[in-house]
Structure 1
């Protein structure tokens, strides 16, 4: 069951990435990020209010919010710091790079998660899973060759380093999620609510230095419907992902890989919507990534 929940998370993540590209194009990145997190928070807040007003109905339908200790709050703050840094880097990179380059690099995230799952959680990969991950990494290298034809030199482009750092931080957060969900027994909605709350506070601090004091930057910001869509779609994806992690049999390395199936939406549909170059050539490494994901998904069958 947890694998199917992972696929649902991938579906919403793919749609989320398309809306995110639309939201940041020619726009101020930091206020867009604040807007997306805030809209996601409001989405979860609705369920929080319902759980207070109609506690019995909330309990019956499975969205009870837990009371948590100060120590648990501190653990969630750490996750907020990690993800805020990852998002700031990723949004900046997405603004300056084609989505068909950014998304495949992000697809290397399962490799970092894979290593962490082995070292931290002692998850045991088999031969097919090893093959799957190395095929994914090799396919990402192929994308770098294609990216050069679009004027993107991977060795000297700072946005490439930004998206790689964002990917590493995102993978670290994924490993941390297993600790929060399984070791601390947090349910998805409680984690989502407080995570969004603390992330908003962090972003407000960043914007108070980099954006709010500058009238020219404030005027350059364009509100778009996609900002709200990004926040709501991300919360939907996170909910199904956290629900999957609640299963004690769930393997974080496999869930991380399953989520990469979002690239089908981002690369194929995104390439058509945003009219980016070399779409056919990018299908070759895309197929490689899908083969790698396939090997991981079906290695235990």
Structure 2
């Protein structure tokens, strides 16, 4: 069952990435990012108040936001700091790079998760899983060659390093999620609500320094409906992902790989919507990534 929940998470993540590309075009990254996180927080807010006044009903619906000790709040704050850093880097990169380059690089995230799962959680991969992961990495390298044809030098372009950093931090957060869900026994909606709350606070501090004091930046900001859509779609994706992690048999390295199937939406549909270059050539490494993911699932 947890694999199907992972596929649902991938579906919503793919749609989330398309909306995110539209939301950041011609906009400052920080206010867009804050808008998406705050939208997700507002989406979850009724569950919080419902948990206060209609506890039994929310528990029966498996949507109850539980009370947690301050120590657990501290653990969630750490996750918020990790993901805020990852998203800031990713949004900046997405603003300056084609989605068909950004998304496949982020698909290397399962490789970092894979190594962490072996070292931290002692998850044991088999031969096909090794082949699948190395095929994903090789396919990402093929994308770098295609990226140069779009004027993107992977050795000198700072946005490439930004998206690599975002990928590493995102993978670290994925490993941390298993600790939060399985060791601390947090339910998905409780983790999502407080994570959104603390992340919004972090971004609000950043905005108070980099955006609010400058009237020209505020006037240049363009609100788009996709800002709200990104927040809601991310909540949906994380909900199914955390639900999958609640299964004690769930392997974080396989879940991370399953989530990469989102690139089919981002590369194929995104390439058509945003009319980016070299779409046909990008289908070759795309196929390599999908085969790699398929080998992991088959194994």
| Cα shift at 1:56 | 2.1
| Cα shift at 1:85 | 0.2
Query: Mapping of 1:1-301 within 5 angstroms?
Result: 1-299=1-299
Deviates more, 1:41-50 or 1:183-192: 41-50
User: Cα deviation per residue 1:136-159 (whole Å; 9 max; x = unaligned)?
Assistant: 000000000000000000000000
Residue aligned with 2:156, SS? coil
Deviates more, 1:61-70 or 1:94-103: 61-70
User: Cα deviation per residue 1:223-242 (whole Å; 9 max; x = unaligned)?
Assistant: 00000000000000000000
Tell me the distance in 2 between the aligned counterparts of 1:223 and 1:117.
40
Q: Is the 8 A contact 2:30 2:207 kept in 1?
A: yes
Tell me the distance in 2 between the aligned counterparts of 1:56 and 1:75.
27
Tell me the distance in 1 between the aligned counterparts of 2:298 and 2:214.
52
| Cα shift at 1:60 | 1.2
Which ranges of structure 2 fall in alignment gaps of 5 or more residues?
none
| Cα shift at 1:288 | 0.1
Tell me the distance in 2 between the aligned counterparts of 1:126 and 1:61.
38
Tell me the distance in 2 between the aligned counterparts of 1:159 and 1:180.
31
Tell me the distance in 2 between the aligned counterparts of 1:167 and 1:223.
27
Tell me the distance in 1 between the aligned counterparts of 2:25 and 2:192.
27
Residue aligned with 1:85, SS? helix
Residue aligned with 1:191, SS? helix
Deviates more, 1:253-262 or 1:209-218: 209-218
**Which runs of 4 or more aligned residues in structure 1 lie more than 6 Å from their structure 2 counterparts after TM superposition?**
none
Residue aligned with 2:176, SS? helix
Root-mean-square deviation (Å) = 0.6
Tell me the distance in 2 between the aligned counterparts of 1:93 and 1:47.
33
Tell me the distance in 1 between the aligned counterparts of 2:77 and 2:60.
29
Q: Is the 8 A contact 2:260 2:293 kept in 1?
A: yes
Tell me the distance in 2 between the aligned counterparts of 1:276 and 1:171.
27
If the length of structure 1 is used for normalisation, what is the TM-score?
A: 0.99
| Cα shift at 1:128 | 0.2
Q: Is the 8 A contact 2:20 2:230 kept in 1?
A: yes
Deviates more, 1:11-20 or 1:56-65: 56-65
| Cα shift at 1:57 | 1.6
Tell me the distance in 2 between the aligned counterparts of 1:179 and 1:61.
24
User: Cα deviation per residue 1:65-114 (whole Å; 9 max; x = unaligned)?
Assistant: 11111110000000000000000000000000000000000000000000
Tell me the distance in 1 between the aligned counterparts of 2:108 and 2:33.
23
Equivalent residue pairs, number: 299
